[in-house]
Amino acid sequence: MSKNKKKAEEKELKKNDEATLDPIVEALMKENEELKTALEVSKNDYLKVFADADNMKKRLERDYDLSMKYRVQTFAHSILPAIDNLERALNQEVVEGQSYRDGVKMIYDQILEALKQEGVVQIDALNKPFDPNIHQALVAEAVEGVEPNTVVEEFQRGYMIKDRVLRASLVKVSE
């Protein structure tokens, strides 16, 4: 066989091989693209699920922190009427029974201290500017020598728990 004939046969075989390989290569390339697309979709799905889980974790931590911060709110709200009654008893003039009054005062101070340890504090309202966020005006009347919108009398003390109003102060405001 001559060299040219041999080269021609090799060329022919190569063409046949390429013709046979072209559909296989195309199929493999198509499958490769499909796999790349599926991988990208799976990667995006994974990132979304991971982000959702991270957001849920943060939300649960925030909710837990808030519940811990205000856990005493129900207790504090229920004990306030007892404090009000103790205040009324302490405001009565008593000549006899001073030891009784001292005992009530001691209990009152202990309750306030227990509440203070939980972040519950009294609102200081008297002679302060009226603030509708922490005061509830029951009466408004003109008072000489006092600027308008100033709390001149406190009917019932208000309380805050951390940065929230537990109960607004019931007050009289100057006009």
Q: 97 and 147 share a domain? A: yes
175, burial (CB in 10 Å: exposed 0-12, middle 13-18, buried 19+): exposed
Q: 20 and 79 share a domain? A: no
Strand-pairing partners, residue 171, are: 137, 154
Mean pLDDT confidence for 111-116: 87
Q: 80 and 159 share a domain? A: yes
The letter for the amino acid at 48 is K
* Half-sphere exposure of residue 172: CA atoms within 13 angstroms, side-chain side: 9
Q: 26 and 89 share a domain? A: no
Q: 41 and 111 share a domain? A: no
Q: 117 and 33 share a domain? A: no
Domains in the chain: how many in total? 2
The letter for the amino acid at 170 is L
SS3 171: strand
Give residue-wise pLDDT tens across range 53-62.
Answer: 999 999 999 9
Q: 90 and 168 share a domain? A: yes
Share of the chain above pLDDT 90, in %: 51
Q: Which domain holds residue 154?
A: 73-174
Q: 82 and 149 share a domain? A: yes
Question: Is the pTM higher than 0.75?
Answer: no
Give residue-wise pLDDT tens across range 144-164.
Answer: 999 999 999 999 999 999 899
Q: What is the DSSP string of 65-78?
A: HHHHHTTTHHHHHH
Q: What is the CATH number of the domain that holds 111?
A: 2.30.22.10
